[in-house]
Chain A
Amino acid sequence: MGIDLRLPVGTLFALLGLLLTVYGAATRGQPGTEPTGVPINLIWGVVLVAFGLWMLLLARRARRAPSSTP
């Protein structure tokens, strides 16, 4: 119906990931940011960006090759 859901999902996660990545990189090494020694903001930010872009890619592909269902 109407919108391809992968567009808003992809955009939201790409933006969230970007925010986390930038924040994680800027605060790298500060006390209280790396539980159990992992720069988790940075790592997880990159994971979210990757997921968001993958969703956007799927949406783009679906738009280029319209499926048989209306």
Chain B
Amino acid sequence: MTLHWVDYAIMLLYFAFVLGIGAMLRRYVHTSEDFFLSGRSIPAWVTGLAFISANLGAQEVIGMGASGAKYGIATSHFYWVGAIPAMVFVGLFMMPFYYGSRARSVPEYLKLRFDEKTRAVNAISFAVMTVFSSGISLYAMGKLLNLLLGWSFDASILVAGGIVLGYIFLGGLTSAIYNEVLQFFLIVFGFAPLVFLGLRDVGGWTGLSARLAEHATATGFAAGAYTRSWAFMGNASANPVGVEWFGLVMGLGFVLSFGYWCTDFLVVQRAMAANSMTAARRTPLIAALPKMCFPFLVILPGMLALVVSASSGVRPRPPLEGAPAVSATAAAAPAAPAPGDPAPASLPPARGIVPPKIDARTGQPVLDARGRVVLDYDLATPMMLVHFFPAGLLGLGLTALLASFMSGMAGNVTAFNTVWTYDLYQSYVRPGAADSHYLAMGRFATVFGVAISIAAAYVAASFNNIMDFLQLVFAFVNAPLFATFALGMFWPRATGHGAFTGLLSGTLAAAVHHGISLPAGAHVGVKGGYLGVLTTYPSELAQTFWTAIAAWVTCFVVTIVVSSFTQPRPAEALRGLVYGLTPKPTDDVKQWYERPGTLAVIVLTLTLALNLIFF
């Protein structure tokens, strides 16, 4: 499909502003601290919005839409069980140590609290992960724009990469943060009309529930399985997610979410840029308020894509290059499906406007191990844009999509250049140079960070499995992290040797657990089972959650055991780094409702209410 001039005008206007912000901020960057930490001078509402926007990359917008189509409203657990409690925790309990220790990065905190080798492990794995993550995201963007609009893959990723490079190179972290706020608003205003039009089309939430109930019963679940988030969590086979409440709360809610939101420098860096301790603590709490509404913005489009009729939008049959038309004969009479079968082969290959996944080599729909057609859920949200948005609004929607790719990439690049310059270059390559040298290195790191991302995007384009494999390794590395930080911040006795051994054995435990388990319907290989299939899970998510639990528990236990046998650091060396040895932070706020504690209560109450409403 082709775009109208008005769509291009909207995109160009956005690009001009993004680069303009970078150019305007250039004159405020004098020191490396200005470049990497925004001189710790940004108000809380700005860092708060940037905190969620840096994470609001393609994985979120496209991925949550995909999960919405796949699992229904239960995807909201990623927010209402996962992200929000973790964000409250990092704001209330962990930020005093991150911000108060004056560490310039998360790995640097590990060095202050533990030792050099623990920092090195975290810095190296983090640096590698960030550039590859932004590469994967670039690749996804190039592929999507090529499929949707027929744009050149090369041009798409070079232009997007170039713009991100431009504004970070000029204005450093401040520029990334300011643009993330711009991107946040753009994503909200770009996707809100999609939800409005989609809901209007299917008859509101009631209409959506009725249509999804049909879909649920056709796939062997109870009628409310796609529209109620908790009711069917008692048994893994009763809900489309394929996981029961314990695996969900422990694996996703505790290990994975706390591991990400509390230890990932990509998000923590935004809070570190805040202009005071209170502002730093309020950053994740302010972020939590819009974050808890995101399910309506990013998950609902996916759920809607599954049930809107293909003829209701402005472009009744969106032409997808490379995707074969779905023949009517494929819609044979559905046989009685087994419970827990998400998509029996007897159902028509396309659902709503979600097309089947096409194998790039054969041009045929992809089948899983049970011979069923796999839907291309990643196209759920993009197809909704194309389906409902007329010229004009389509430009806004696509710009919002581009903004999400860019904010995610910028988050990765700014975290990379900081960790590279402070934790690797300054620590191991060239310590003791003048500050201007590190500022120049930061700018240079931005250039090669973007260059490696682009190279990684091409690697992803040629070897798809390599990227799956890398993401798997990242998951293994990340899963045990929260155990290390929790023990480090709240148990003075934890030692560097303990943390280091704990991290490595946690990662190993994740790899082993993944190697002996397999999700139902998957092939042995990158999905698991390479050490022999000892156990199977109903879904990939269930396997992921339990892998994380195994890693966390192993890291936690090993850290405690090894710490007990090794020499702890004296208490005075841990002042400002560990709970109980650090004076409680005081709140410098004018109003009672600005206090971090009050905000936390408000956030948790609202989250509880959302869980109950969609129970």
Contacts and interface: CB of A to CB of B under 8 A. Distances in A.
Interface of A: 1-3, 5, 8-9, 11-13, 15-16, 19-20, 23-24, 27, 32-36, 38, 40-41, 44-45, 47-48, 51, 69
Nearest to B50: A5
A10 to B, nearest CB: 10
Contact of B200 (A24, A27, A38, A48): A38
Overall SS of chain B's interface: helix
A33 B314 contact: yes
Interface string B27-66: 1100000000011011100100000000000000000000
Q: Which of A12, A19, A20 has the most chain B CB atoms closer than 10 A to its own CB? A: A12
Interface stretch (B131-139, B181-189, B457-465): B181-189
Q: Which of B10, B178, B392 has the most chain A CB atoms closer than 10 A to its own CB? A: B392
Contacts of A12: 13-14, 17, 182
B409 to A, nearest CB: 20
Given A8-B178, A12-B17, A40-B197, A3 B392 contact: no
A13 B189 contact: yes
A24 to B, nearest CB: 6
A48 B201 contact: no
A11 B43 CA distance: 20
A62 B304 CA distance: 41
Interface in B172-203: 174, 178, 181-182, 185, 189, 193, 197, 200-201
A36 B201 contact: yes
Q: Give the size category of B's interface with A.
A: 35 or more
A34 B197 CA distance: 10
Contacts of B392: 19-20, 23-24, 27, 33, 41, 45
Overall SS of chain A's interface: helix
Q: Which 9 A-B pairs rank lowest in CB-CB distance, beginning with the nearest? A: A41-B392, A2-B28, A33-B390, A1-B41, A35-B314, A12-B17, A23-B392, A23-B6, A32-B314
A23 B355 CA distance: 31
A48 B189 contact: yes
Given A2-B24, A15-B13, A20 B201 contact: no
Contact of B312 (A8, A36, A41): A36
22 contacts: A1-B25, A2-B27, A3-B21, A3-B178, A5-B46, A8-B17, A8-B21, A13-B189, A16-B13, A19-B9, A27-B390, A27-B391, A35-B389, A35-B390, A36-B313, A36-B388, A38-B197, A40-B389, A41-B392, A51-B185, A51-B189, A69-B43
A20 B275 contact: no
Contact of A32 (B39, B185, B315): B315
Contacts of B9: 19
A12 B46 CA distance: 17
B243 interface: no
A25 to B, nearest CB: 11
A19 B24 contact: no
B563 to A, nearest CB: 41
Nearest to B193: A44
B318 interface: no
B25 A3 contact: yes
B396 interface: yes
A41 B391 CA distance: 8
A8 B197 CA distance: 29
Given A20-B393, A32-B315, A33-B314, A1 B42 contact: yes
B568 interface: no
Q: Which of A11, A16, A45, A69 has the most chain B CB atoms closer than 10 A to its own CB? A: A16
A23 B389 CA distance: 14
A1 B315 CA distance: 45
Contacts of A34: 314, 390
B352 interface: no
Given A12-B17, A36-B197, A38-B197, 20 more contacts: A1-B25, A1-B174, A2-B174, A8-B17, A8-B21, A9-B181, A13-B189, A16-B14, A20-B6, A23-B391, A27-B390, A32-B391, A34-B314, A35-B197, A35-B388, A36-B312, A45-B392, A47-B189, A48-B189, A69-B43
Contacts of B100: none
A39 B285 CA distance: 37
A51 B184 CA distance: 14
Contact of A41 (B24, B28, B275, B393): B393
B337 interface: no
A33 B390 CA distance: 5
B36 to A, nearest CB: 13
A44 to B, nearest CB: 5
Nearest to A21: B392
Contacts of B189: 13, 44, 47-48, 51
A9 B193 CA distance: 19
A44 B188 CA distance: 12
A35 B20 CA distance: 34
Nearest to A20: B392
A41 B21 CA distance: 27
A5 B41 contact: no
B37 to A, nearest CB: 11
Interface in B262-282: 275
Given A32-B315, A69-B43, A5 B181 contact: yes
Q: Which of B27, B189, B275, B389 has the most chain A CB atoms closer than 10 A to its own CB? A: B189
A19 B312 contact: no
A33 B388 CA distance: 9
Contacts of B193: 40, 44
Interface string B388-428: 11111100100000000000000000000000000000000
Contacts of A27: 390-392
A17 to B, nearest CB: 9
